[in-house]
Amino acid sequence: MSTAVAPNPTLLLSRSQVERLLTPDRCIAAVEDAFRRHALGEAPAPGILGMHQGEGSFHVKAAFLDADRPYFAAKINANFPQNGVRHGLPTIQGALVLFDAETGVPLAIMDSMAITALRTAAATAVAAKWLARENAATALICGCGGQAAAQLRALLGVRNLTQISVYDQDAQKAVKFASALSSETGRSVTPIAELCAAVENSDIVVTCTTSDKYFIERRMVRPGTFVAGVGADNENKQELDPQLLAHSKLVTDLTAQCSKIGDLHHALDAGAMSASDVHAELGQVVAGLKPGRESATEITVFDSSGTALQDAAAAIAVYQRALAASGATFKLDS
């Protein structure tokens, strides 16, 4: 007779549960460790598949990652930028499935909206930790959609920001976002209308938009600034001037992926630079294989295309916390 123990039931985790279980600091630590592991050859390269449909797109991102056991995570996301205006729905929707990579048992199915926002913001925070000036005090968030709040919360975990500006093409959205985040964080969060001046006056600039044409120009960015381009997660999106990338210390999440879908992709197509001009991948900096910021005056840029390593790291952290909180009895809430 077999003595094998039956696996725990697959956990079903809603967006609110994911947000409760995965704090920004815990996500930052998990994502930083995943980047380090990949750079040291302890985690294989993740996979990605993207397909377009009408005005939207779907992508599948998958990765193996070891923690307390070997895991496999696969995330399927739909990205439809017009959803809010036309249907009153979120731009990004999807699900992530986490497996035991030794047995193939599905361990958890969780809402991917919170995972995507938190792990993307965590990568920006890790990059800021290594690439922004330690005394950085002013920041600009461009784009006040679903990603913006997570970006700001994560940045506050690694830098003591005293002045935060926010910009959106929809001025009212920026006003509402500034009011809400000022109350939440107790920091000065100000909506701005003049983008160029705001960029020039910021130590940290984060772009998290759906733009298909760059709007942060090289001439706007002063020496010593750290810029994180977050929105270019498919080949049709672009936020950063190719000349900015070409004349900065450029760090990618994964260079091969950014060469196909990130802001780097557009810089390569424009002939502004070659892939060999990329300074490093973020994991190489975290692992000490390549230097991060080396002077107070250099401009550093992080091209964040979003990787399944981040998804896996965040999902594992959520799963472990769920088990610790209430074991296999954790149930989907209403």
**What DSSP letter does each residue of 62-107 carry, written as one string?**
EEEEESSSEEEEEEEEEE-TTHHHHHS--SEEEEEEEEETTT--EE
Q: Give the active site residue among 75, 173, 237, 249.
A: 75
Q: Taking the mean position of all CA atoms in its chain, how far away is CA 29? A: 13
Residue 196 dihedral angles phi and psi, to the nearest 5°: -60, -50
Q: Among 202, 204, 274, 263, which Cα is nearest to 231's?
A: 263
Find the length of the chain.
334
Whether 75 sits among the annotated catalytic residues: the reply is yes
Write the single-letter amino acid at 253: D
Alpha-carbon gap, residue 172 to 186, rounded angstroms: 21
Residue 226 dihedral angles phi and psi, to the nearest 5°: -110, 125
Look-up: residue for tokens 């500006």? 165
Alpha-carbon gap, residue 147 to 286, rounded angstroms: 24
Q: 302 pairs with which residues across the strands?
A: 228, 251
**What DSSP letter does each residue of 158-210 carry, written as one string?**
TS--SEEEEE-SSHHHHHHHHHHHHHHH-SEEEE-S-HHHHHHT-SEEEE---
Angle between helix axes 171-185 and 148-155 (nearest 10 degrees) is 40
**Catalytic positions, please?**
75
